[in-house]
């Protein structure tokens, strides 16, 4: 099982191993990715899924480069090289000299996670296959190019050279990223329908576009679900991720209707931005209206507080939804790790199933809601949501695979992480 084309990460396919060995050589076209990738990969296994390539970027965003290689000794080739990169944008250039990889990772073929999970479930030895599902590696670098805060529309060009351990210099092919100004997004960044807006949210961390938040607010202004804690948590996290986009949003609220403008101001306030100067530009009546709305608004609960409460059946699951919103914005491990914690309540699920079976036999219901039942519900919701994200988000798969081998993770959670796809408790009830 190997890659059909190791040169294009997103087009890797799992298929039969070719008899002819692949020569060790550099892939000349670099990969442009978010600078946060290095942090997302901390603590993961040596083989991971490919990060999303960035073809567009916005003022204030951080970009870096990755360089790939193929062949048996590709990791050694990447690590022993010395690299120089240059980023040119609108007549200015920034160079990064004498670099060595900060980390290298082998990249899985597309579909490899599914193939491996099927073989493991069938108890087929997949050891050799795990070594064969990758034919390329990526090297990351401590390069952090920031799109200028006042950037106008244009194209940023990333270029560079690779110098081998023998001194041979190889030019890398140029890659370009389209830079979109806030003004352009304000004019052209709208969503054609709710599906496009939902897709934007579900893949946000792969292609973050904070300046489209105003368009999302317009699309969702009549949707009650957008005011739920997880929807608010998503929007607040977007605002926290980009102070430039938050400032731009504030400047563009003047022409919006009162309900949208008020909701946006509440989001900005929740995100920690000082609105004093802006509020002084409003009429006294508008200021009074907003202050009343702010006093009436409830602060977001702490999503990491997963203590069960028998008087609030949905307390834990509501916070888990908020944690997934944080992941969708940032791609960070921390909220996903928190979602996995209720897997430790496996014994409570056993209590629940015993009570359920007894009810099916006798028709006798349990009086009231117990802590055990609340924990059982959270256990099932944790496993179901993790399984869903594993199926649709390769980065979450990489997290889970690493945690199953992490000695700091409780054994019961590691065991449950190994049953996300097959455990009946993790099916929709």
Lowest mean pLDDT among 125-129, 141-145, 358-362, 414-418: 125-129
Q: How confident is the model at residue 113 (pLDDT cuts 50, 70, 90)?
A: confident
Give the C-alpha distances (Å, rounded to integers) separating 326 from 203, 249, 330.
12, 20, 6
How confident is the model over 312-318, as a mean pLDDT?
Answer: 94
> What is the reported pLDDT for 126?
56
Q: How confident is the model at residue 6 (pLDDT cuts 50, 70, 90)?
A: very low
State the CB neighbour count (10 A cutoff) for residue 24. 14
Enter the DSSP assignment of 425.
G
Q: DSSP readout, 252-318?
A: T-TTS-HHHHHHHHHHHHHTT---HHHHTTS-HHHHHHHHHHHHHSPPPP-TT-----TT-TTHHHH
Q: How confident is the model at residue 132 (pLDDT cuts 50, 70, 90)?
A: low
Lowest mean pLDDT among 19-28, 196-205, 416-425: 19-28
State how far the Cα of 255 lies from the Cα of 233, in Å rounded to an integer. 25
> What is the reported pLDDT for 315?
95
Sign of CA dihedral 256, 322, 331, 273: positive
- Asked if pLDDT for residue 419 goes beyond 50, the answer is yes
Using a pLDDT cut of 90, give the percent of the chain over it: 78
How confident is the model over 149-177, as a mean pLDDT?
Answer: 97
> What is the reported pLDDT for 255?
86
Q: How confident is the model at residue 14 (pLDDT cuts 50, 70, 90)?
A: very low
State how far the Cα of 351 lies from the Cα of 115, in Å rounded to an integer. 34
**pTM (2 decimals)?**
0.91
Q: How confident is the model at residue 344 (pLDDT cuts 50, 70, 90)?
A: very high
Beta bridge partners of 3: 14
Q: Do residues 3 and 13 lie in contact, with contact meaning Cβ atoms separated by under 8 Å?
A: yes
- Asked if pLDDT for residue 297 goes beyond 60, the answer is yes
Surface-to-core class of residue 289, CB atoms within 10 Å of its CB (0-12 exposed, 13-18 middle, 19+ buried): middle
How confident is the model over 43-70, as a mean pLDDT?
Answer: 96
State how far the Cα of 127 lies from the Cα of 125, in Å rounded to an integer. 6
State how far the Cα of 399 lies from the Cα of 405, in Å rounded to an integer. 10
Single out the residue of 136, 128, 129, 130 nearest to residue 104, CA to CA.
136
| Exposure b/e, 325-345, CB count within 10 A at least 16 = b | bbbbbbbbbebbbbbbbbbbb
Average per-residue pLDDT in the chain?
A: 90
State how far the Cα of 158 lies from the Cα of 89, in Å rounded to an integer. 9
Beta bridge partners of 65: 32
Higher pLDDT, 4 or 365: 365
> What is the reported pLDDT for 22?
84
Q: DSSP readout, 25-59?
A: EEEEEEEEEETTHHHHTTT--SEEPPPPPPSEE-T
- Asked if pLDDT for residue 227 goes beyond 80, the answer is yes
Question: Phi then psi for 28, rounded to 5 degrees?
Answer: -75, -20
Q: DSSP readout, 364-392?
A: PPPPS--HHHHHHHHHHHHHHHHHHHHHH
- Which residues fall within 8 angstroms of residue 429, CB to CB, at 6 or more apart? 380
State how far the Cα of 386 lies from the Cα of 33, in Å rounded to an integer. 25
């Amino acid at each position: 099982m190997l890659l059909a084309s190791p040169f294009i990460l997103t087009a890797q396919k799992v298929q039969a191993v070719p008899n002819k060995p692949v020569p060790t050589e550099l892939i000349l076209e670099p990969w442009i990715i978010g600078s946060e990738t290095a942090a997302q990969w901390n603590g993961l296994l040596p083989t991971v899924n490919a990060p999303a390539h960035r073809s567009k970027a916005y003022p204030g965003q951080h970009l870096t480069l990755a360089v790939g290689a193929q062949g048996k000794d590709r990791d050694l080739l990447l690590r022993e090289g010395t690299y120089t990169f240059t980023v040119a944008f609108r007549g200015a250039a920034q160079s990064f000299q004498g670099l060595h990889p900060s980390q290298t990772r082998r990249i899985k073929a597309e579909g490899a996670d599914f193939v491996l999970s099927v073989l493991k479930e069938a108890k087929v030895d997949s050891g050799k296959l795990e070594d064969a599902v990758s034919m390329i590696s990526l090297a990351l670098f401590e390069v952090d190019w920031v799109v200028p805060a006042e950037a106008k529309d244009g194209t940023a060009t990333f270029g560079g050279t690779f110098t081998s351990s023998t001194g041979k210099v190889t030019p890398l092919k140029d890659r370009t990223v389209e830079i979109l100004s806030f003004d352009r997004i304000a004019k052209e960044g709208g969503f054609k329908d709710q599906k496009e807006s939902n897709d934007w949210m579900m893949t946000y961390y792969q292609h973050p576009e904070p300046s489209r938040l105003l368009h999302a607010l317009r699309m969702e202004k009549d949707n009650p679900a957008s005011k739920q804690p997880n929807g608010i948590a998503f929007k607040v996290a977007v605002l926290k991720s980009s102070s430039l986009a938050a400032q731009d949003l504030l400047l563009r609220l003047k022409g919006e209707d009162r309900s949208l403008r008020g909701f946006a101001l509440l989001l900005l306030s929740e995100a920690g931005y000082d609105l004093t100067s802006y509020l002084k530009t409003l009429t006294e009546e508008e200021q009074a209206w907003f202050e009343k709305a702010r006093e009436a608004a409830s602060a977001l609960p702490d999503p990491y507080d997963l203590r069960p409460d028998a008087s609030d059946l949905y307390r834990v699951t509501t916070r888990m939804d908020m944690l997934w919103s944080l992941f969708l914005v940032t791609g960070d491990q921390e909220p996903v790790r928190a979602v996995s914690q209720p897997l430790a309540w496996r014994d409570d699920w056993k209590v629940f199933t015993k009570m359920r079976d007894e009810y099916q036999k006798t028709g006798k219901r349990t009086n009231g809601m117990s802590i055990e039942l609340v924990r059982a519900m959270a256990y099932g919701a944790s496993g179901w949501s993790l399984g869903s994200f594993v199926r649709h988000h390769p980065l979450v798969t990489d997290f889970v695979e690493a945690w199953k081998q992490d000695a700091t993770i409780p054994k019961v959670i590691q065991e449950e992480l190994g049953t996300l796809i097959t455990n009946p408790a993790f099916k929709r009830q």
